[in-house]
Structure 1
Amino acid sequence: MKYKLLVLDVDGTLLNDEREISKRTLAALLKVQQMGVRIVLASGRPTYGLMPLAKALELGNYGGFILSYNGCQIISAQNGEVLFERRINPEMLPYLEKKAHKNGFDIFTYHDDTLLTDRPDNKYIQNEARLNDLILIDEDEFSTSIDFAPCKCMLVSDDEEALIGLEDHWKKRLAGTLDVFRSEPYFLEVVPCGVDKANTLGALLELLDIKREEVIAIGDGVCDVTMLQLAGVGVAMGHAQDSVKVCADHVTASNEEDGVALAVEKLIIAEVHAAEIPLDQLNARARHALMGNLGIQYTYASEDRIEATMPVDERTRQPFGILHGGATLALAETVAGLGSMITCQPDEIVVGMQVSGNHISSAHEGDTVRAIGTIVHKGRSSHVWNVDVFTSTNKLVSSIRVVNSILKKR
């Protein structure tokens, strides 16, 4: 694979204006993960607020990551392990709170599934809690009530000019200690020194031994610029500011027009040839799906032929020790599904429509069966595959016909 990592900003990029992942975008992102590309969600959101999106994209099944708090944390979506973390020294909190109150600003921070603030009635703070499904906790004595080191603190105000003034002051006053920037006209973020999406992404690349040239990053905001510049290919959303677009290698459509899906289809899916399908990565990342649970392993892939193996054991046998017909059909569908995925166009998706099989002989526990799938019809709207399943001694166990429907993404 030319690219190994796909890094996505979330709000305004992955999500449309309804805060949802469109069907076309979801299909495209699942497809590239099946091809062996790992996904990183890079966002200013707290880790807890990104978990539902990681689950929807099945990042845990494909070795993906969450880069949260604008770079303060990297979390493995597979097991929740914290791979990288930077936090604010709690001794700075009284100073931040004092300056916030002096300027008439509200202040809040995050902790696990909660949002702590001295102004729970603030509409922006309420929206932030709602957006990330966080429990809102009222803390009158904000700094004294926090007994942990937060990843970041947020100051809130409708007075944008006042926020800009404090931002300029703190960039000089806190230089080398904390970094500050406005992520929204009403938000001033305070994070550990040197933390941003690009720096933290660089740490992840070093950890994974991935080169910049093997990374695609997509974003829409000023906070994404350094990330787009670090990646081998940076893609700006169509609605991004011109200052963001000029820093990118490509400009895609907006988040309301499936911009992420279009970029992924053009830059990754359309460039992949059958010989480049990383079977070892597909096998490893499908271990928590049905394929992995049945012990199915791809062994060969081309545009018109797919091969895979499956053990006859406690997972796939009937109670009396022979291969279960249902497991055989699942093996055939797995083989035909990959074959159709390889041959269909970037703007198409594969949906299994029909499977029918003739079970000819038995395979016994302790054996490993081998499936060979060949395409017998490659139409515009459907593919028909013949899948023969053999024992290790080449005895034909089943002959199965699988029909896949090929649909245009919408």
Structure 2
Amino acid sequence: MNVKDIRLIVMDIDGTLVNSQRQLTPKTKEALIRLEEHGICLALASGRPYKGLIQLAKQLKMDEYNGILISSNGARAEILPSRTVRFEHAIPTELAKEVLEHLKQFDVYPMIEDGDYMLVNNVYQNEITCKGKTMNIIDYEAHSNGFLLKESHDLTQSVNFSPSKILSAGSDVYLQEHYQEMEAPFKDHLDCMFTAPFYFEYTAKDTNKGAAIESLGYAKEQIVAIGDAQNDLPMFKNAGIKIAMGNAVDEVKAAADIVVDDNNHDGIGKWIEETFPEYFQ
């Protein structure tokens, strides 16, 4: 593929665009803005909801260059700054209720976006363990995305709308042991996936980052997709150039055309500088 054909760069966020402190580094930020200045569109594709994307998008000036936000693992795609929706696929309300009822038997914490709020069962019941470290998962998710919290002791009764996704959080070892039971009743009706070792999510069937990208109208040879986790693999199917971060899981690296440096060492920024040196003269 000729890099001169590139018109769209689609990037995952956590583990890809931002570093381990969930920050956008100056080098990568500058490189991406250079691409926009030369007519290449940027898209952020993440399990995060819109509220968790927009501040990063503004740092990258995507609201000035008609950037694209693909949120909730592909459930919605919209164009900035107008927020024109190009793709939307939510979980039907009754099916969402069935998932929430099913999850009651597992040691996990369901979380659902509801506008400016995140619905949870109990704001004080929130600790999980990942890689031997304990974390307050509700605080982590709410502050990462700018949510206020709304408590409901029975989410099955409170969710009277069609959510973009259902996020369940749990300790990494526990989820590995139980995720097949968690997905079993729904695997023919919903997409069920890990988006982090401590997150197992549900979205509408055939809703993923790749389906959202396909709705945007770009030819495959015009698209670069960059990611690190299993939920980034559907993006690769719709991209002419597939890039895995140095910290990516083995499955993603195996599917990639290129493996770049990790997210703590400006993997994206370095690749851009090497691929488009004329933009930095």
Find the counterpart in structure 2 of residue 149 from structure 1.
162
Does residue 120 of structure 1 match 2:123? Answer: yes
Find the counterpart in structure 2 of residue 49 from structure 1.
52
Instruction: Mark the runs of 5 or more structure 1 residues left unpaired by the alignment.
Output: 273-341, 346-410
Secondary structure, aligned partner of 2:24? coil
TM-score (norm 1): 0.62
Provide the rounded CA distance (Å) in 1 between the counterparts of 2:233 and 2:159.
33
Q: Deviation digits for residues 191-247 of structure 1, max 9, x if unmatched?
A: 10011111211112x3xxx21111111111121122134210011111112221111
Coordinate RMSD, CA, aligned: 1.7
Whichever residue aligns with residue 238 of structure 1, its letter is G
Does structure 1 conserve the Cα–Cα contact (< 8 Å) formed by 2:103 and 2:182? no
Does structure 1 conserve the Cα–Cα contact (< 8 Å) formed by 2:102 and 2:182? no
Count of residues in correspondence between the two structures: 268
Q: Deviation digits for residues 1-56 of structure 1, max 9, x if unmatched?
A: 42100111111111112211111111111110000000000111011110101111
Provide the rounded CA distance (Å) in 2 between the counterparts of 1:51 and 1:128.
15
Does structure 2 conserve the Cα–Cα contact (< 8 Å) formed by 1:87 and 1:149? yes
Partner residue of 1:245 out of 253, 268, 276: 253
Secondary structure, aligned partner of 1:230? coil
Provide the rounded CA distance (Å) in 1 between the counterparts of 2:75 and 2:64.
24
Does residue 60 of structure 1 match 2:63? Answer: yes
Does residue 193 of structure 1 match 2:201? Answer: no
Rg comparison, structure with higher value? 1
Provide the rounded CA distance (Å) in 2 between the counterparts of 1:91 and 1:164.
27
Find the counterpart in structure 2 of residue 307 from structure 1.
none
Find the counterpart in structure 2 of residue 20 from structure 1.
23
Whichever residue aligns with residue 146 of structure 1, its letter is V
Q: Map 1:361-400 to 2 at 5 A.
A: none
Provide the rounded CA distance (Å) in 2 between the counterparts of 1:104 and 1:259.
36
> Once the 2 structures are TM-superposed, how far is the Cα of residue 165 of structure 1 from its aligned partner?
5.3
Secondary structure, aligned partner of 1:255? coil
Greater relative contact order structure (CA < 8 Å, 6+ sep): 2
Find the counterpart in structure 2 of residue 167 from structure 1.
179
TM-score (norm 2): 0.89
Structure 1 residues 243 and 104 mapped into 2: Cα distance closer, same or farther (>3 Å)? closer
Does structure 1 conserve the Cα–Cα contact (< 8 Å) formed by 2:245 and 2:267? yes
Does structure 2 conserve the Cα–Cα contact (< 8 Å) formed by 1:234 and 1:250? yes
Partner residue of 1:29 out of 29, 32, 37: 32
> Once the 2 structures are TM-superposed, how far is the Cα of residue 166 of structure 1 from its aligned partner?
4.6
Does structure 1 conserve the Cα–Cα contact (< 8 Å) formed by 2:221 and 2:239? yes
> Once the 2 structures are TM-superposed, how far is the Cα of residue 170 of structure 1 from its aligned partner?
5.2
Provide the rounded CA distance (Å) in 1 between the counterparts of 2:117 and 2:224.
32
Partner residue of 1:103 out of 95, 102, 106: 106
> Once the 2 structures are TM-superposed, how far is the Cα of residue 60 of structure 1 from its aligned partner?
1.4
Provide the rounded CA distance (Å) in 2 between the counterparts of 1:173 and 1:141.
20
Whichever residue aligns with residue 18 of structure 1, its letter is Q
Find the counterpart in structure 2 of residue 368 from structure 1.
none
Q: Deviation digits for residues 307-357 of structure 1, max 9, x if unmatched?
A: xxxxxxxxxxxxxxxxxxxxxxxxxxxxxxxxxxx5x43xxxxxxxxxxxx
